[in-house]
Amino acid sequence: MNTIWLPSIEGREGPKYKALAEAIRDAIGDETLEVQQKLPPVRDLAWDLKITPGTVARAYTLLTDEGVLEAAVGRGTFVALPKPKAESESKADYLSDVLTVAPSIERRPDVVRLTSPQLPDVGQAKLIQQHMGQVAANPRSGVMHYPNRKTFKPAREAVQHWLRGTPLGAFDEEDIVLSHGGQNGVSLALQSILTGPSPVVLVEELSYPGFRRAAALLRAEVIAIPMDSDGMIPEAIAAVAKSHNVQAICTSPEVHNPTGLFTPVSRREEIVEVARAHDIQIIEDDCYRMGASRAPSYRMLAPERGWYVSSISKTLTPALRIGFVVAPKPSVPALRRSAEHGFFGLATPLADLAERLLNDPNVAECAAKVNAVFSQYVQTCVNHLGAYDVTWHKDVPFLWLRLPEGWRASAFCQAAEVERVQIRPAEEFAGRDARALHAVRIAINAQIDLDHFEAAIMRLRELLDNPSERIGV
């Protein structure tokens, strides 16, 4: 069912896209817009309201992600069927931040998903299965007792072995706490740091959405810090710290997600100086680094306030949810309490598996092979997209593409979906009130053959080379 509905955004506060979204919600609430009713096309509504098509598209995208609207490729945007609130909210969060697929997108088998890195199987699956069988047959820690610190010591020692060569400064197995993947590691670190009724956590203006989610769960205020080509701007951190109760910084200096930028040691030292002046802890997420470290970690530069979080999700497998946190020496007891009071530690068979896996000399070779395959796919991307403004590194399983002038990230992603390719717009990595950024992240999917992957990249290149009138604004 079509509509000639025309909203009014006059007198509404906030950005125009939020005002339009509010007007749509109100129209649905008073039944001016009925369930399954079709909304006006983006360009038509933009013309009638005398705003940009990008503003309308952003409002539609916001409501689609909330489950208020639903979009069908080639058919338009419709008022969604009502859903239980809890289901709708949890689904939107889960899909956008974990699976990285918008709720409106069907899981069609012919669609190439380049939304989150997909690891190739270079032999690690067989090794994991072998170790799982050996743990099942003879679990070191048994299967009838609660875990304790002694139970996890061999696994912590294995992590220490796995991290050899990483510039973390002096540390031993007692400084390590096992977590259920990197996201759980970030949450544990924040639980150990944040105190008081109104803590503030700083993140980059573009950042891994899991930082914001972890802070929000702990009722912390999140403030985005401006960036330049070297990462967070120290002066901006200091300015916020003077007027807010800043307790932690969450950052990814080795491989910034989503831009792929690297923070050099000189900038890290400046940030450490600011953190010491304002007594701020620094949580470093190093999950995306696949090659050698290029600079000392924050834990090495500031052993009293540097936290290191990583996992095997980007190097071996995301299925096991094995992660780890290396705490500053003074904060080790607090980190242990957060883990022990939260979930009593990992399941003992999983800890036994982590011990066996990370000590297996063949696993390091598998990780190197995974990196080599990713590098091959990255080079394929660069071969076709290198004429555009793209940031990449051979040891990083994604690329950051700044779109040419006139493009909108949401429109480009929609056009890519029509061409059976899914990618992530910059908006998914920005805070709710951030300015619209005309860029996309293209993740490497090494679970499809290289020819199939290359064909998908060529379709993206075709869109870039030949923008249609409906996309260009």
Whole-number Å distance between alpha carbons of 120 and 61: 32
- Considering the domain architecture, whether residues 324 and 416 belong to the same structural domain is answered as no
- Considering the domain architecture, whether residues 227 and 348 belong to the same structural domain is answered as yes
Predicted TM-score of the model (pTM): 0.78
Domain end position, chosen among 326, 359, 392: 359
- Considering the domain architecture, whether residues 158 and 298 belong to the same structural domain is answered as yes
Angle at 52 between CA 411 and CA 80, to 5 degrees: 60
Does residue 141 form part of some domain? no
Determine the pLDDT at residue 302.
Answer: 97
Task: Report the amino acid identity of residue 339.
Answer: A
Domain end position, chosen among 327, 359, 391: 359
SS3 assignment, position 258: coil
What tens digit of pLDDT does each residue of 185-229 get?
999 999 999 999 999 999 999 999 999 999 999 999 999 999 999
Lowest mean pLDDT among 2-11, 125-134, 188-197: 2-11
Determine the pLDDT at residue 414.
Answer: 87
> For residue 314, what are its two tokens?
């980007």
CATH code assigned at 78: 1.10.10.10
> Which helix H or strand E contains 351, and what residues bound it?
helix 348-359
Determine the pLDDT at residue 321.
Answer: 95
- Considering the domain architecture, whether residues 281 and 186 belong to the same structural domain is answered as yes
- Considering the domain architecture, whether residues 166 and 117 belong to the same structural domain is answered as no
What tens digit of pLDDT does each residue of 392-423 get?
999 999 999 999 877 888 889 988 998 999 99
pLDDT over 60 (residue 470): no
Alpha carbons within 13 A on the beta-carbon side of 189: 35
- Considering the domain architecture, whether residues 70 and 182 belong to the same structural domain is answered as no
pLDDT over 90 (residue 300): yes
- Considering the domain architecture, whether residues 329 and 374 belong to the same structural domain is answered as no
- Considering the domain architecture, whether residues 76 and 177 belong to the same structural domain is answered as no
What tens digit of pLDDT does each residue of 15-40 get?
888 889 989 998 988 888 988 898 99
- Considering the domain architecture, whether residues 160 and 267 belong to the same structural domain is answered as yes
The conformational region for residue 251 under phi > 0 = left, psi -120 to 50 = alpha, else beta, is: beta
Distance of CA 397 to CAs 65, 373, 446, 471, Å? 26, 10, 9, 28
Which residue range is the domain that position 291 belongs to?
146-359
* 59: DSSP letter: H
What tens digit of pLDDT does each residue of 355-382 get?
999 999 999 999 999 999 999 999 999 9
Domain end position, chosen among 314, 330, 359: 359
Nearest to 114 by CA among 395, 400, 370, 375: 400
Determine the pLDDT at residue 3.
Answer: 59
> For residue 278, what are its two tokens?
């304002």
**Which of 12-16, 213-217, 431-435 is modeled with the greatest confidence?**
213-217
User: Of how many residues is the chain composed?
Assistant: 473
Q: How many domains does the chain have?
A: 3
- Considering the domain architecture, whether residues 152 and 261 belong to the same structural domain is answered as yes
pLDDT over 80 (residue 308): yes
Determine the pLDDT at residue 262.
Answer: 96
For residue 80, what are the contacts with CB-CB under 8 A and spacing of at least 6? 35, 67, 68, 69, 70
pLDDT over 60 (residue 87): no
The conformational region for residue 245 under phi > 0 = left, psi -120 to 50 = alpha, else beta, is: beta
Whole-number Å distance between alpha carbons of 362 and 177: 24
pLDDT over 60 (residue 388): yes
What tens digit of pLDDT does each residue of 92-119 get?
333 334 444 444 444 556 789 999 999 9
